[in-house]
């Protein structure tokens, strides 16, 4: 691979004895990020006779670079269902619906002015405050923060607002500034020694900016001294199962177009769906009726500086074409829902719209559905909230005890906060007048990707599933010490109410 420092020298070496010489206008810049083996192969193809010396200039090289960008990757072999494969899921008619208005906020988009941000946060507070008010601990909540201004010292209050700042005071206490549309309030969490105070202080350490919280406490001068902290949270519920013998497969971060996309393993998964691979519990493949893909379906282009050198397919449309070829072999009776992630060819700001028509044109089959990020999907009565998970980075860095090794823990934090991306500015968010990233409907399954690491847990009855990746460990992940878990697909057996991780690494 050309690292740009001595790419010309490396290419010249590859061409030694082949009768091809490089002109002096071929420079390192021209070759930056281009696979030297690929380019020398193309040159030898073009000038096969080592006897006649050929001088190649920058124009010829530029032409080959362009050619490589649209180079057709070999078409994958067509996968056919195993003879005699009688999938149970083929006998059942699909029952699904997409969205509950989450993606229909185009008319509410704003320009990002100060008043738009105010409207955005007001929407967030208006939506989440009612969830908190249902907690018994939050009974008697003040209607707003202005109302407590006239209260006398020592009076007990319950207040709710958005956290605009959190600091540790010079006495070692935690002070959270919370706001609503009427006023703000300074809440103190004492760093005291009693067991109750220790536990409250620990909980206050988990407060993050821009989330909605409620606090029970006492007025003390300009402060409210907290004695209880209430997160919006989700109430306890039972895990959702169905009568039909069906299953849902969860996929994310395929990264088609990356040199590290593990295509053989992905194809093996498609083979498995066709009854051709003897992996996992017997009969499970034939139960799969739905597949949800939580973003980063392609690696994209220009996502980070120098990405070209990590790509096997340099043209973004070709990346999606390849994905279409791969998904084509998924049996027709399986309904596939794919949302975009931060690598995909749509706006980066969330909520992201579904992938556009220019990309969808290569997807000929009507069992593949492109949906926005995030999306609520109802699959045979099971509510799946699918979100790429871009916010997980900021949650991991802000909340104590979170790590890239346990993506499900960071996902649980979004349920506690009733918001998919609670920290504003950690990732790009459209400041709409309707905060559509609020988790207003509690899902049966919360599905994300982004961290390239599998993780499953159950929180208050909600299944929390991170479906890992199909991309091998990248240089970036090596640098950060992240260990991905590629090619492991979680499958929910919706009748049994259990998950199986199917490992396609073998
Ligand atoms: Fe990814």
Q: 307-343 pLDDT, tens per residue?
A: 989 999 999 999 999 999 999 999 999 999 999 999 9
CA dist 448 and 393 (Å) reads 12
**Is residue 77 domain-resident?**
no
Q: Could you tell me if 201 and 192 are in contact, meaning their C-beta atoms sit under 8 angstroms apart?
A: yes
Dist. CA 441 → ligand 1 center (Å):
26
pLDDT in tens, 415-443: 999 999 999 988 888 888 889 999 999 99
User: Same domain, yes or no, for 302 and 351?
Assistant: yes
Per-residue confidence band for 28, with pLDDT thresholds at 50, 70 and 90? confident
Dist. CA 296 → ligand 1 center (Å):
5
Q: CATH number of the domain that 196 lies in? A: 2.40.50.140
The percentage of residues in the chain with a pLDDT greater than 90, rounded to a whole number, is: 70
Dist. CA 206 → ligand 1 center (Å):
26
Q: Could you tell me if 424 and 394 are in contact, meaning their C-beta atoms sit under 8 angstroms apart?
A: no
Dist. CA 121 → ligand 1 center (Å):
28
* Domain boundary, last residue among 17, 51, 69: 69
Order of strands across the sheet that contains 445-448: 96-98, 375-379, 382-386, 445-448, 462-467, 454-459
Main-chain phi, psi angles of 245, to 5 degrees: -85, 70
pLDDT reported for residue 352: 94
Structure tokens, 423: 């920290």
**DSSP code per residue over 279-320:** -SSTTSGGGEEEEEEES--B--SSSSTTGGGGBS--SHHHHH
Dist. CA 118 → ligand 1 center (Å):
32
**Is residue 43 domain-resident?**
yes
Dist. CA 453 → ligand 1 center (Å):
10
**Is residue 146 domain-resident?**
yes
CA-based nearest residue to 427, from 375, 389, 391, 387: 391
Dist. CA 343 → ligand 1 center (Å):
7
Helix (H, G, I), strand (E, B), or coil: what is residue 188?
strand
As a whole number, the mean pLDDT across the chain is: 90
Say which residue the tokens 């871009």 belong to: 390
Query: Does residue 386 carry a pLDDT above 90?
Result: yes
CA dist 411 and 391 (Å) reads 9
pLDDT reported for residue 1: 42
Dist. CA 62 → ligand 1 center (Å):
30
Dist. CA 438 → ligand 1 center (Å):
23
Mean pLDDT of the 183-209 span = 95
Query: Does residue 163 carry a pLDDT above 60?
Result: yes
**Is residue 87 domain-resident?**
no
pLDDT reported for residue 433: 86
Q: If you compute the radius of gyration of the chain from its CA atoms, what whole number of angstroms results? A: 27
Dist. CA 228 → ligand 1 center (Å):
38
HSE-up of residue 493 (Cα within 13 Å, Cβ side): 17
* Domain boundary, last residue among 198, 230, 262: 230
pLDDT in tens, 214-266: 999 999 999 999 999 999 999 999 999 999 999 999 999 999 999 999 999 99
Per-residue confidence band for 76, with pLDDT thresholds at 50, 70 and 90? low
pLDDT reported for residue 5: 62
**Is residue 288 domain-resident?**
yes
pLDDT reported for residue 2: 42
pLDDT reported for residue 3: 46
pLDDT reported for residue 360: 81
Give how many domains the chain has, as a whole number: 3
pLDDT reported for residue 100: 54
User: Same domain, yes or no, for 223 and 264?
Assistant: no
CA dist 502 and 249 (Å) reads 10
User: Same domain, yes or no, for 43 and 144?
Assistant: no
User: Same domain, yes or no, for 263 and 385?
Assistant: yes
What is the domain range of residue 211?
Answer: 136-230
Residues with CB under 5 A from ligand 1 (ion): 253, 296
User: Same domain, yes or no, for 335 and 421?
Assistant: yes
pLDDT reported for residue 312: 93
Query: Does residue 103 carry a pLDDT above 60?
Result: no
CA-based nearest residue to 340, from 325, 326, 353: 353
Dist. CA 496 → ligand 1 center (Å):
30
Residues with Cβ within 8 Å of 430's Cβ and at least 6 positions away in sequence, in order, are 109, 110, 349, 350, 351
User: Same domain, yes or no, for 449 and 337?
Assistant: yes
Dist. CA 341 → ligand 1 center (Å):
7
H or E stretch at 241 = none
CA dist 187 and 230 (Å) reads 13
User: Same domain, yes or no, for 391 and 428?
Assistant: yes
Dist. CA 35 → ligand 1 center (Å):
23
**Is residue 300 domain-resident?**
yes
Q: Cis ω on the peptide bond leading into residue 374 (within 30° of 0)? A: yes
Dist. CA 119 → ligand 1 center (Å):
31
User: Same domain, yes or no, for 310 and 421?
Assistant: yes
Structure tokens, 316: 């973004």
pLDDT reported for residue 345: 94
Query: Does residue 102 carry a pLDDT above 50?
Result: no
pLDDT reported for residue 75: 57
Q: Decide which of 4 and 37 is more confident.
A: 37
Dist. CA 337 → ligand 1 center (Å):
17
Strand partners, 98: 377
User: Same domain, yes or no, for 215 and 259?
Assistant: no
Dist. CA 465 → ligand 1 center (Å):
15
pLDDT reported for residue 51: 84
Dist. CA 271 → ligand 1 center (Å):
23
User: Same domain, yes or no, for 200 and 331?
Assistant: no
Q: CATH number of the domain that 366 lies in? A: 3.60.21.50
Dist. CA 254 → ligand 1 center (Å):
7
Dist. CA 269 → ligand 1 center (Å):
19
Per-residue confidence band for 406, with pLDDT thresholds at 50, 70 and 90? very high
Dist. CA 429 → ligand 1 center (Å):
18
Mean pLDDT of the 77-106 span = 79
**Is residue 125 domain-resident?**
no
Say which residue the tokens 């067991």 belong to: 195
Query: Does residue 104 carry a pLDDT above 50?
Result: no
Report which DSSP code applies to 276. -
Dist. CA 46 → ligand 1 center (Å):
37
User: Same domain, yes or no, for 199 and 254?
Assistant: no
Dist. CA 112 → ligand 1 center (Å):
27
* Domain boundary, last residue among 190, 207, 230: 230
Query: Does residue 114 carry a pLDDT above 80?
Result: no
Lowest mean per-residue pLDDT among 57-71, 140-154, 239-253, 433-447: 57-71
Dist. CA 325 → ligand 1 center (Å):
20
Dist. CA 475 → ligand 1 center (Å):
13
Dist. CA 472 → ligand 1 center (Å):
11
CA dist 466 and 486 (Å) reads 12
CA dist 55 and 190 (Å) reads 77
pLDDT reported for residue 69: 58
Dist. CA 334 → ligand 1 center (Å):
24
User: Same domain, yes or no, for 247 and 157?
Assistant: no
How far is CA 410 from each of CA 210, 212, 253, 446, rounded to the nearest angstrom? 16, 17, 18, 12
**Is residue 463 domain-resident?**
yes
Per-residue confidence band for 454, with pLDDT thresholds at 50, 70 and 90? very high
Q: Could you tell me if 273 and 284 are in contact, meaning their C-beta atoms sit under 8 angstroms apart?
A: no
Dist. CA 424 → ligand 1 center (Å):
21
Considering 137-151, 202-216, 423-437, the range whose residues carry the highest mean pLDDT is 202-216
Dist. CA 410 → ligand 1 center (Å):
16
CA-based nearest residue to 234, from 494, 86, 438: 438
Dist. CA 301 → ligand 1 center (Å):
13
């Amino acid at each position: 691979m050309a690292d740009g420092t001595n790419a010309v020298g490396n290419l010249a070496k590859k061409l030694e004895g082949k009768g091809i010489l490089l002109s002096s206008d071929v420079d390192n810049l021209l070759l930056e990020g281009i696979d030297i083996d690929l380019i020398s192969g193309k040159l030898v193809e073009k000038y096969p006779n080592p006897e006649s010396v050929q001088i190649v200039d920058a124009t010829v090289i530029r032409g080959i670079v362009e050619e490589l960008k649209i180079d057709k990757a070999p078409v994958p072999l067509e996968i056919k269902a195993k003879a005699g494969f009688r999938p149970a899921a083929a006998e059942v008619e699909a029952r699904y619906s997409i969205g509950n208005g989450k993606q229909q906020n185009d008319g509410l988009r704003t320009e990002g002015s100060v008043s738009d941000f105010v409207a955005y946060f007001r929407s967030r507070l208006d939506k989440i405050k009612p969830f908190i008010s249902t907690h018994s601990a939050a009974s008697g909540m003040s209607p707003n923060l202005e109302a407590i201004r006239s209260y006398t010292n020592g009076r007990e209050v319950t207040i709710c607002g958005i956290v605009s700042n959190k600091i540790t005071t010079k006495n070692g206490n935690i002070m959270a500034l919370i706001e609503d549309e009427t006023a703000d309030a300074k809440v103190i969490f004492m760093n005291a020694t009693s067991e109750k105070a220790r536990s409250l202080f620990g909980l206050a350490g988990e407060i993050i900016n821009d989330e909605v919280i409620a606090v029970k406490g006492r007025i003390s001068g300009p402060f409210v001294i907290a004695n209880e902290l209430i997160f919006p949270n989700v109430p306890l519920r039972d895990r959702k199962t169905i009568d039909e013998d069906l299953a849902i497969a969860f996929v994310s971060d395929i990264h088609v177009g990356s040199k590290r996309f593990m295509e053989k393993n992905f194809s093996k998964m498609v083979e498995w769906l066709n009854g051709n691979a003897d992996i996992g519990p017997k009969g499970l493949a034939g139960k799969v009726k739905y597949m949800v893909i939580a973003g980063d379906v392609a690696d994209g282009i220009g996502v980070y500086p120098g990405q070209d050198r990590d790509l096997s397919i340099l043209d973004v449309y070709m990346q999606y074409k390849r994905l279409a070829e791969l998904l084509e072999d998924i049996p027709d009776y399986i309904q596939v829902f794919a949302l975009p992630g931060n690598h995909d060819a749509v706006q980066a700001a969330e909520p992201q719209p579904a992938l556009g028509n220019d990309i969808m044109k290569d997807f000929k089959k009507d069992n593949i559905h492109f949906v926005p990020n995030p999306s609520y999907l109802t699959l045979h009565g099971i509510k799946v909230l699918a979100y790429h998970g871009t916010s997980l980075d900021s949650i991991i860095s802000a909340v104590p005890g979170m790590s890239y090794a346990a993506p499900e823990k960071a996902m649980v934090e979004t349920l506690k906060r009733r918001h998919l991306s609670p920290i504003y500015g950690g990732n790009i968010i459209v400041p709409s007048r309707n905060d559509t990233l609020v988790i207003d409907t509690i899902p049966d399954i919360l599905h994300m990707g982004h961290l390239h690491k599998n993780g499953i847990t159950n929180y208050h009855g909600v299944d929390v599933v991170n479906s890992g990746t199909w991309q091998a460990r990248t240089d970036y992940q090596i640098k950060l010490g992240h260990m991905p878990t590629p090619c492991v697909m979680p499958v929910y057996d919706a009748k049994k109410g259990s998950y199986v991780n199917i490992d396609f690494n073998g």
